[in-house]
Chain A
Amino acid sequence: MLNRMLTFASVGRHMDSVLGMNQRNRELIDVWNPKAHRKLADDKVLAKELMESAGISLGKTYAVIETLHEVSRFPASLENRPEFVIKPARGRAGIGIVVLTRTSSSWVDPSGKEWSAGEIRQRLANITFGDYSQSLSDRVLIEERIYPGPILGDLPVSGLPDIRIITLHETPVMAMVRLPTVQSGGRANLHMGAVGVGIDIETGESTGATWRNRNARVHPDTKQPLLGLRVPQWDTVIETARRAARAFPLRYLGIDIVIPKASGDLEHSTGVPLVLEVNVRPGLQIQNANARGLRRALDVVQVGAIH
C-alpha cells in the first residue's frame, strides 16, 4: 500500500478514489520515475532510440538536427520529403511542433499558412536554442507525417487523435482517446480544448467523455455520440503500451499511441498502432474522461507488484 504517513487528506468519502496532483507527484512520480531516468522519456529522440531497440512500432525519423550548421543545410537535407513534422525533442504540450507539406515554391502547414525556407530555418534554430523546451539547447526531431486512421468507431478524425494509456509497473491501468477539436486547433491536448473519451481498459469501448472540464456525450464539433464506440485493434494497442512501458526504466507512464491510416498510399502507413511519445508526468484529466478515479486501479497494481 502507499505510504500515507502524515496523510490527513481524503476529506469526503467520494474523493477517496481520486488521484490528486500532490499524491501523483509525491507517491507516483517521485517514487517510480527516478529523476536520472526521466530524460529518457522527456527527450523524444532518446525515447525513440530506446523504443526502437526494443522493437516497438514508431513513426519514421527523417533527421535529427543539433547544430546551427545543420540548420543552415535546410532545405537541401529534406529534399526528398514532400511532408514532414518538426518537433522540439524536449518540447511539451505540442509546443513548437509544425507539420509541413511542400508546395511548388514553399511549404504550408495544415492551417494553410505558408512557410518560407527562411521561416522554417528560424524555427529550427529557435528549437536548437531551447526556446520550446525551457533549456539552453535542444535537438530538432524531423519525422514522417502520420495520417490518422479511424480511432473510435467510425467517428471522422481531424488533427492527430491519439490514445493515452496510463501504465504502472508495465500494467495499463486507465485509457482515453484524445480527439482534437476546432477549439484545440488540431492538437490532442485536453487543456487546449481537445475531447477526452474514457475507454474501458478491458474491452476498448468508450464509456464517458470530458470536454472543457465538463461531462460530454457528443463531439462538440460534429455532435456525434461518443459513447459505446470501440477502438480498433485494442489488444494490439494495449500490448504496444505494455511493451513501450517495459522499454523504460520508469514505472509510472503515460503512453501516447496513434493508429495510422491503413490505406497504402503513403510510405509506412501500415495501420499498426505506433507510439507517439511517452510522458513521465501524465495528467489527471483522464479520470474525468473515465468518470473514475485512478487510485483504486493504481492500488490494485501496486499490491500486485509487491506480492
Chain B
Amino acid sequence: MRIQLPQVTWCGLMLIALLFAAPLGIGLYRASTAGFDLTRLAPNPAYRVQAMIAFDSKEGGKQPLTETGDDAPKGESHSVRMFVPQNEAGLTLGNRWTDSDLSHNVESFRGGNRLVEWYGDYVGGRGHIMTAFTTVAKRIRYDIDPKLAAPDSLIDNDLPFLQGTELVPVGHPRIAELTDQIAPTGMSALAQLQAIHHYCTRIKPTEPSDPDDALTVLREGAGGSAGKSRLFAAMARHRGYPTRLVTGLRLEPEHDAKLLTWVEVRLGWVWVPFCPTGDLFATTDGKQIPFYRGDYPILSATPGTDVDVHFSVEKTFAVQGRLVNAVEKSFASCLGFWGALERCGLPVDILRLIIMFPLGALASVVLRNVIGLKTFGFFLPTLLAVAATKTGFAWGMLALLGVVALIALVRQALSRFRLLHFPLMAILITASVLSALLIALVGARFGLDNLTHITLFPFAVMTLTAENCSAILEEEGHLELLKVLGLSMVSIAVSFIVMSNASLQIAMLTFPELALIVIFVDVLLGRWVGIRVLEYWRFRGLRRSEEVLSHA
C-alpha cells in the first residue's frame, strides 16, 4: 500500500480550520457548558400519539344521552366521549390537535380524570374524530422501604379504593384464600406486594376480549391486562392497600399501540404503579401513558352508536417549549432554536430529515465514487429514502416498484400514439399521481394506514423517477432498467438506514455544526482519485494479465 502524505497548503489549512477544527471547537464548547452531559443538550425522544375514533350511527341522531360514570346528560344530539391523558409526574404532554365530524367539544374532569366529549348534530353514517398529541414520558422508579409495614387501619378517604365490585370481588372467599396463602399478614408491605405482583405476572396472557373479571382469571389461570390487574387489585384491597386500576397506552411505534391496564397502590401518600402484564414492579419504563384511573371503558357514546378507537404511535423528538427543560433552552443547546422553528410551522419531524440530508448526500457520494454503484440520478435515491421514512421502507419500495411498473406499462400503451416527449412525461406523472390516490383510497377504505401513507411519497420525487426510468428504458432497455432499479434500491436502503437512524438524528439535532465536518469529508472524497470498489471487479482480468507480465 502506498500512502502519500498530503502537501498541506495555506488554503488547505484554512479549509481544515473552517470545516474541521471550528465545528469541533464549537461542539466541545457547547458540550462543556452542559458539563459534558450530552443528554442535557440532546432532544428527548417523544411520541406522537394519534387516536382515531370511528363512530357509526344507525339511527340518524337526536337521541337522549345516557349516563356513563357520574355525569349528567348534555342534551339531545350525538355524543362521543373519551378519557384523555393529562400532565402528571413523569408525563408531559405537548400540543393536542383534534379534528372531528362533530361540531362541539367540551372538556371536564371526572374523579381526577380528564374527559373530552364531542357532540353535535350528525346526519348519520360513519363519522370520525381524530385527536393527537405529543408526549414525553419519563422512567420513574419507586423505592419501597422494606421496613414499611402492611396497612392495618383504614382511612375513610380510601374507601372507594378498597371496596369490592362485581369485577373486583374483594371479599370473595377464593380471593381471600389465595391472598392468605401467597401474601399472609405479618409480612412487610414490600414482600406482600412482591408476592401478589409475582403471582399475577405469571398468569398466562390471553386476548383482551376474553372475560376478564378477577374470579374468571383466577379460575382459568389466564387473563388479559385488565383481568390480571383486577385480580391484583382484589388481592391488594383484601390486604388493605388502597388500589386503583389505570388504563393507558403502551407506546410501541413498530406495532399497533394497544390499550393496557395496570394498577396503582397507595403507599403512604404516593400512588405506586405495578404492571403485571409488562412485569413492571413499582416502576414505569417511559413507554406507558396513563389515560385515566378507575374501572370504566375508555369510550362511551349515544346509544345506538357503535364506537371504537384505533391508536397509532410515531417516534419523534421533543423540542417544544413545554416539553424541554431549562438547560435545554440555554444557548448551549439548539433545542430552543428548533422549538422556534417548530412554532413557525417547521415541525421537528421534517427538520430531523432535513438535517440528515448532508449525511444522506454523503452516503450517496460514497456509494457512487467509492463503491461505484449506478443509480437513478445522483440524489434521487436519497430523496426516495426520505420519502420512505414517511411510509416505511417496505411500502416505499413497493411504491417505487409500482411507479416504475406503471410507467413501463403506460409508455407501452401510449407508444402507438407517438406522442412528443414532454407531453408524454406529463401523462406519466399524472398516471402515477392518480394511481397513488387510488391506492390511498383503497387503504383508507380498508383501514390500512400504510397504504394511505403512500400518497405521502412525494410526487416531485416521483416525477424525477418517472423521467429517469423513462430515459433508461428508452436508451438502454428493460434489462438495464431492472439493473439500475436494483442498484438504486440498494442505495435507497443505505440512505434510509443512515437517514432514519435515531442516534444520528439526535447527533445532528444536538450538534448541527457536524454538517461542516460532513463537508470536510466531502472535500476529501472530492479529491480522492482512487479506484472504485466495483472497478476492482471490472478490471479484474487486467489485474491478472499484469500479474503475468510482472512475473515474466
- List chain A positions with a Cβ less than 8 A from chain B: 4-12, 14-15, 17-18, 20-23, 26-27, 93, 95, 119, 122, 125-126, 129, 131, 134, 192, 208, 210, 213-215, 284, 287-288, 291-293
CB of B421 within 8 A of CB of A131, answer: yes
CB of B542 within 8 A of CB of A4, answer: no
Task: Given A5-B6, A11-B530, A126-B421, decide whether A20 and B535 contact each other with a Cβ distance below 8 A.
Answer: yes
Min CB–CB distance A260 → chain B (angstroms): 27
- In the complex formed, the residue of A with least CB distance to B530 is A9
Chain A residues within 8 Å of B546, by CB: 14, 17, 291-293
- Chain B residues 482 to 527 lying within 8 A of chain A, measured CB to CB, are 524, 526-527
- List chain B positions with a Cβ less than 8 A from chain A: 1-4, 6-7, 369, 372, 418, 420-422, 471, 474-476, 524, 526-532, 535-536, 538-539, 541-543, 545-547, 550
CB of A125 within 8 A of CB of B420, answer: yes
Compute the total of residue contacts between A and B using a CB distance below 8 Å. Answer: 109
Chain A residues within 8 Å of B3, by CB: 8
Chain B residues within 8 Å of A214, by CB: 541
- Rounded to whole angstroms, the CA-CA distance of A12 and B420 in the bound complex is 50
Min CB–CB distance A188 → chain B (angstroms): 15
Q: Of A11, A126, A210, which one neighbours B1 at CB under 8 angstroms?
A: A11
CB of B471 within 8 A of CB of A291, answer: no
**15 examples of A-B residue contacts, CB within 8 angstroms:** A8-B530, A9-B529, A11-B530, A15-B531, A18-B542, A22-B369, A22-B529, A23-B530, A129-B421, A192-B476, A288-B542, A292-B542, A292-B546, A293-B542, A293-B546
- Rounded to whole angstroms, the CA-CA distance of A14 and B545 in the bound complex is 9
Task: Given A10-B531, A93-B475, A122-B418, decide whether A210 and B541 contact each other with a Cβ distance below 8 A.
Answer: yes
CB of B528 within 8 A of CB of A8, answer: yes
- Rounded to whole angstroms, the CA-CA distance of A287 and B420 in the bound complex is 39
Chain A residues within 8 Å of B475, by CB: 93, 95
Chain A residues within 8 Å of B476, by CB: 192
- Rounded to whole angstroms, the CA-CA distance of A192 and B530 in the bound complex is 26
- Rounded to whole angstroms, the CA-CA distance of A10 and B372 in the bound complex is 16
Q: Of B6, B418, B471, B538, which one neighbours A288 at CB under 8 angstroms?
A: B538
Chain B residues within 8 Å of A6, by CB: 6, 524, 527-528
Chain B residues within 8 Å of A27, by CB: 529
Say whether chain B's binding surface is mostly helix, strand, loop, or mixed: helix
- Rounded to whole angstroms, the CA-CA distance of A8 and B529 in the bound complex is 8
CB of A288 within 8 A of CB of B528, answer: no
Chain A residues within 8 Å of B2, by CB: 10
Chain A residues within 8 Å of B538, by CB: 213, 284, 288
- With contacts A20-B530, A122-B418 known, what are 20 further pairs, Cβ within 8 A? A5-B527, A7-B527, A12-B536, A18-B543, A20-B529, A21-B372, A21-B532, A21-B535, A22-B528, A22-B532, A23-B531, A26-B527, A93-B475, A95-B474, A119-B418, A126-B421, A192-B476, A288-B538, A291-B545, A292-B545
Task: Given A14-B547, A95-B475, A134-B471, decide whether A20 and B542 contact each other with a Cβ distance below 8 A.
Answer: no
CB of B539 within 8 A of CB of A4, answer: no
- Rounded to whole angstroms, the CA-CA distance of A126 and B425 in the bound complex is 13
Chain A residues within 8 Å of B471, by CB: 134
- Rounded to whole angstroms, the CA-CA distance of A192 and B477 in the bound complex is 10
- Rounded to whole angstroms, the CA-CA distance of A27 and B529 in the bound complex is 8
Chain A residues within 8 Å of B369, by CB: 21-22
CB of B4 within 8 A of CB of A7, answer: yes
Chain B residues within 8 Å of A131, by CB: 420-421
Chain A residues within 8 Å of B535, by CB: 18, 20-21, 284
Q: Of A4, A5, A126, A213, which one neighbours B420 at CB under 8 angstroms?
A: A126
Q: Of A4, A208, A284, which one neighbours B4 at CB under 8 angstroms?
A: A4
Closest 9 CB pairs of A and B: A9-B530, A23-B529, A20-B531, A291-B545, A131-B421, A14-B543, A6-B6, A22-B529, A6-B527
- Rounded to whole angstroms, the CA-CA distance of A131 and B543 in the bound complex is 40
- In the complex formed, the residue of B with least CB distance to A92 is B475
- In the complex formed, the residue of A with least CB distance to B419 is A122
Task: Given A14-B550, A22-B532, A95-B475, decide whether A288 and B527 contact each other with a Cβ distance below 8 A.
Answer: no
Give the residue among A17, A119, A214 with the most B Cβ atoms within 10 A: A17
